[in-house]
Amino acid sequence: DAEITQSPRHKITETGRQVTLACHQTWNHNNMFWYRQDLGHGLRLIHYSYGVQDTNKGEVSDGYSVSRSNTEDLPLTLESAASSQTSVYFCASSESGESSYNEQFFGPGTRLTVL
């Protein structure tokens, strides 16, 4: 069965360190997304990609970067981790084309703690 996986599931790091969160999907979806989930804020979009070599900033992109070298993977990098980036991070994917009505498929999430 197709799926979307994230690793690690839990990560503790220190302020100032670079951290990369992995996202891998086997749906063959062109669209991929990264969100952070914080209490009271729901899900906020960090970055998204409509296909290989395409990346776009979301509403809370400062301090984060992504790259898309193939269809399956969209790693999220925190260049210099800050305590404000302690959160739960979700990766999602959806079909392309007339996809605005297509559901997003979510990974299980990565809980990141920055000390």
Partner 1 sequence: AQSVTQLDSQVPVFEEAPVELRCNYSSSVSVYLFWYVQYPNQGLQLLLKYLSGSTLVKGINGFEAEFNKSQTSFHLRKPSVHISDTAEYFCAVINTGGFKTIFGAGTRLFVKA
Chain residues binding partner 1 by CB under 8 A are 4, 31, 35, 40-45, 48, 50, 58, 90, 92, 94, 99-101, 103-104, 106-109
Residues 109 and 88 sit within 8 Å (Cβ to Cβ) = yes
Radius of gyration (Cα) for the chain, nearest Å? Answer: 13
- Minimum distance from residue 92 beta carbon to partner 1 (Å): 8
- Minimum distance from residue 80 beta carbon to partner 1 (Å): 26
Residue with tokens 């970067």: 65
β-sheet bridge partners, residue 35: 45, 90
Nearer to partner 1, 99 or 113 (CB): 99
- Minimum distance from residue 62 beta carbon to partner 1 (Å): 17
- For residue 95, count other CB atoms closer than 10 A to its CB: 16
Nearer to partner 1, 23 or 81 (CB): 23
